[in-house]
Chains A and B, each alone.
Chain A
Amino acid sequence: MTQGAGSEAMMLQVGGLRVSYGGRRAGRDPQGPILSGVSFALGRGEVTALLGESGSGKSTIARALTGLLPPSARIEGGLLRLGEEEAVDLAGDAPPWDRLRGRRIGMLFQDAQLALNPLMTIRAQFEESLRAHRLAGRKEAAAEASRLLRMLGFSEPGQVLHSYPFELSGGMCQRVCLALALCLRPDVLIADEPTSALDADSQRHVLELLRRLQGELGLTVLFITHDLAAAQAISDRVIVLREGRIVEDGAVRTVMARPSHAYTRALLAARASLEAPAPRQGAAPDPAAPLLEVRQLRKSYARGGEVLRGIDLTVHRGEIVGILGRSGCGKSTLARCIVALEAPDGGQALLEGRALASLPRRELSRRVQLIFQNARASLNPGRTALQLVTGPLRDHRMGGRRERAAVARALLDDVGLTGELQVRRPPQLSTGQCQRIAIARALALQPELLICDEAVSALDMRVQAQIVELLLRLQAERGFAMLMISHDERIARRLCDTVAVMERGRFVERASGGPSPERHAAGAAAGSSAAHL
Chain B
Amino acid sequence: MLKTTLLRLLEALATLLCATLLLFLLIRIAPGDPVQILLGRPGEAGVTDTAMQERQAAELRERLGLEDPVAVQYGRWMERLLRLDLGESIHTGRSVGAELAERLPATAALALAALAIQLALGLGLGIASALRAGGMSDQLIRIVCVVLASTPAFVLGLGLLLVFAVRLGMYEISSAATLARLWLPAATLGLIGAPQLIRVVRANLLSEFGQVYIVAARARGLGRGRLALHALRNSLASIVTVAALSLAALISGAVVIESLFAWPGVGKYALDSIMLKDYPVIQGYALVMIALMIGLHLAVELVYALLDPRIRRQGRRIRHDAV
Contacts and interface: CB of A to CB of B under 8 A. Distances in A.
B101 interface: no
A118 B234 contact: yes
B219 interface: yes
A181 to B, nearest CB: 7
Interface in B274-323: 307-310, 313-318, 320, 322-323
Given A119-B233, A303-B315, A166 B309 contact: yes
B211 interface: yes
Interface in A303-323: 303
A163 B318 contact: yes
B234 A102 contact: no
Interface centre among B307, B313, B323 (most CB of A within 10 A): B323
A148 interface: no
Contact of A117 (B213, B221, B223, B316): B213
A164 B213 contact: no
A133 B221 contact: yes
A154 B318 CA distance: 12
Given A114-B211, A177-B216, A119 B307 contact: yes
A192 to B, nearest CB: 10
Interface string A209-243: 00000000000000000000000000000000000
Interface centre among A119, A156, A168, A181 (most CB of B within 10 A): A119
A116 interface: yes
Contacts of B234: 117-119
Nearest to B314: A303
A103 interface: yes
A121 B256 CA distance: 47
B219 A102 contact: yes
Given A117-B213, A117-B230, A164-B309, A171 B320 contact: yes
Contacts, number: 101
Contacts of A129: 220-222
Interface stretch (A104-112, A362-370, A513-521): A104-112
Interface in B169-222: 211-213, 215-222
Interface string A47-88: 000000000000000000010100000000000000000000
Interface residues of B, number: 30
A190 to B, nearest CB: 9
Contacts of A133: 221
Contact of A118 (B213, B316, B317, B322): B213
B8 interface: no
B321 to A, nearest CB: 10
Contacts of A25: 134
By secondary structure, the A interface counts as loop
Nearest to B236: A119
B217 A117 contact: yes
B313 A164 contact: yes
A101 B220 contact: yes
A297 B215 CA distance: 43
Given A116-B213, A163-B318, A107 B323 contact: no
A167 B219 contact: no
A129 B217 CA distance: 8
A180 B308 CA distance: 22
A121 B233 CA distance: 13
Interface in A91-138: 97-98, 100-103, 106-107, 109, 111, 114-121, 128-129, 132-133
B94 interface: no
Interface in B53-75: none
Interface string A162-199: 01101111011000010011001000000000000000
Nearest to B231: A117
A102 B313 contact: no
B221 A167 contact: no
B294 to A, nearest CB: 26
Contacts of B230: 117, 120
A101 B323 contact: no
B226 A111 contact: no
Interface string A426-456: 0000000000000000000000000000000
A159 interface: yes
Contacts of B212: 109, 111, 114-115
A69 to B, nearest CB: 10
Contacts of B320: 169, 171-172
A107 B226 CA distance: 18
A101 B217 CA distance: 10
Interface of A: 25, 66, 68, 97-98, 100-103, 106-107, 109, 111, 114-121, 128-129, 132-133, 154-156, 159-160, 163-164, 166-169, 171-172, 177, 180-181, 184, 303
28 contacts: A68-B215, A68-B218, A98-B221, A100-B221, A102-B219, A102-B221, A102-B222, A106-B220, A107-B220, A109-B216, A115-B213, A117-B213, A118-B234, A118-B309, A119-B308, A120-B230, A121-B309, A128-B222, A133-B221, A156-B322, A156-B323, A159-B322, A166-B310, A167-B318, A169-B320, A177-B216, A184-B220, A184-B221
Given A106-B219, A119-B309, A132-B223, 16 more contacts: A106-B220, A107-B219, A107-B220, A111-B212, A114-B212, A115-B213, A115-B216, A129-B222, A132-B222, A132-B226, A163-B318, A166-B309, A166-B310, A167-B313, A172-B320, A303-B315
Interface of B: 134, 211-213, 215-223, 226, 230, 233-234, 307-310, 313-318, 320, 322-323
